[in-house]
Amino acid sequence: MHLIIQGLDVGNYDLRALAKLAGADEIEKVSGQAFRLKNIQQQDGISDYCEETQLDYAVVEPDLNLTDFKLIAMDMDSTLLAIESIDEIADIHHTKQQVAEITLKTMRGEISFEESLTQRTALLRGVHIDALQKVYEERMRLSPGAEIMLKKAKTAGLKTMVISGGFTFFTDRIKEKLQLDFATANTFEVQENRLTGKVLGKILGREGKAEALSNVCDKLGISRSQVIAIGDGANDLDMLAAAGVSIAYHAKPVVQQQATFSLNHVGLDGVINLFNQ
């Protein structure tokens, strides 16, 4: 097994200490902020050391190759994007505090996503469609490393997909901007250019995200084991469970406990560093 160490500032002292702790026989530089400690002998103490030094770590199989995968699927808000889009709409509508409180409860798994989205969308009743465009143009920010991750994934032959419990207003634009292959999300009901406070059709929630992933796998003729999925909240758990490799990105504890790997300090480009390229 190999140990991948990543961080915003990985020092030689930490690398040597971790190599000794893990019984690694070689330290290999993967990128400016990522290193591979090869052929480790044990894992005890690694988690505590990395938590104390704010480093991300992952114990990986030596033959974990990026080119063995065919699809990378990402949650949108607080994963591919560094914002919660619905919270930003609510900020313009002066209901951000109420919406953010519901969002947080959902991310922690305290209420169902369907109930949460219904409540949050109701608080946006009356918002003009121009406000959504304003959020997209002025507040939409990609998570650090997102474009690097996508470029390298595409170069390796992977298809790209965003699966969001948010809304198609944003996923459609992001899909075009980043040239993603697939995008799935919920749809606002709009009347006379204003949000009615309702969601059209069946809400795409926890189960729906996994179903959307499955449908794309069937369309591409690939197995679930050929999928890398990335998410941060309880609503992503079924989607993550349906993938061959799941990655908790700056995620809630319940997600980190169930994901294959967790990234808490580096950006999305850290996803690529987990694999042989």
Closest CA to 81 of 207, 1, 167: 167
| Distance of alpha carbon 126 from alpha carbon 12, whole angstroms | 56
Same domain, 188 and 133: yes
Sheet hosting strand 26-31, strand order edge to edge: 26-31, 34-38, 2-6, 56-60
Same domain, 159 and 138: yes
- In the listed set 62, 80, 105, which residue is the last one of a domain according to the structure? 62
Q: pTM of the entire structure?
A: 0.94
Same domain, 83 and 156: yes
Q: Domain residues for 162?
A: 68-272
Same domain, 118 and 185: yes
| Residue pair 78/230 in contact by the 8 Å Cβ criterion | no
Q: How many domains does the chain have?
A: 2
Q: Please, what is the Cα angle at 7 between 51 and 65, to 5 degrees?
A: 105
Same domain, 40 and 80: no
The tokens for 37 are 């400690």
Split at pLDDT 50, 70, 90, the class of 277 is confident
| Distance of alpha carbon 106 from alpha carbon 182, whole angstroms | 25
Please report the pLDDT score of residue 32 as a whole number. 87
Catalytic entry in 25, 44, 68, 77: 77
For residue 20, give the CATH number of its domain: 3.30.70
Q: 75 catalytic, yes or no? A: yes
Residue 61 has pLDDT above 80, yes or no: yes
Please report the pLDDT score of residue 108 as a whole number. 77
| Distance of alpha carbon 104 from alpha carbon 99, whole angstroms | 9
Same domain, 57 and 176: no
Please report the pLDDT score of residue 106 as a whole number. 77
Same domain, 80 and 195: yes
Q: 232 catalytic, yes or no? A: no
Same domain, 134 and 236: yes
SS3 41: coil
Q: Tell me the β-bridge partners of 74.
A: 162, 230
Mean pLDDT, rounded, of the chain? 94
Please report the pLDDT score of residue 147 as a whole number. 97
Please report the pLDDT score of residue 112 as a whole number. 85
Same domain, 77 and 161: yes
Question: Could you tell me if residue 277 is inside a domain?
Answer: no
Catalytic entry in 75, 87, 236, 269: 75
Same domain, 48 and 173: no
Please report the pLDDT score of residue 104 as a whole number. 81
Q: Express each pLDDT in 87-135 by its tens digit.
A: 999 998 899 899 888 888 877 778 888 898 999 999 999 999 999 999 9
Split at pLDDT 50, 70, 90, the class of 17 is very high
| Distance of alpha carbon 211 from alpha carbon 205, whole angstroms | 10
Please report the pLDDT score of residue 99 as a whole number. 87
Same domain, 242 and 163: yes
**Which run of H or E residues covers position 132?**
helix 129-139
Same domain, 102 and 48: no
Split at pLDDT 50, 70, 90, the class of 248 is very high
| Distance of alpha carbon 20 from alpha carbon 70, whole angstroms | 36
